[in-house]
Amino acid sequence: MGNSSAAGSLLKKGLAWIIVIAVAILAFKIVIAAIAGLIQTLFALVLIALVVFAVVWAMRRL
């Protein structure tokens, strides 16, 4: 009897660790995606600023 309870406890611990690892991987992916999104937004804003600057520069040269 004690053997089956120990196996059940070990199985529950194993399942708990699998769930913890899966949640950690998901959280890591979400953080990486958020950082990548912020970097992409920053690059887009810099590109827009450069385009505006180029248009203003070109209009002054005309």
pLDDT of residue 15: 95
Strands, E assignment, the chain? none
Q: What is the CB neighbour count within 10 angstroms for residue 29?
A: 10
pLDDT of residue 29: 98
Measured distance CA(24)–CA(39) in Å, rounded: 23
pLDDT of residue 3: 61
The pTM score is 0.65
Q: What is the pLDDT of residues 5-58, one digit of tens each?
A: 777 889 999 999 999 999 999 999 999 999 999 999 999 999 999 999 999 999
pLDDT of residue 7: 78
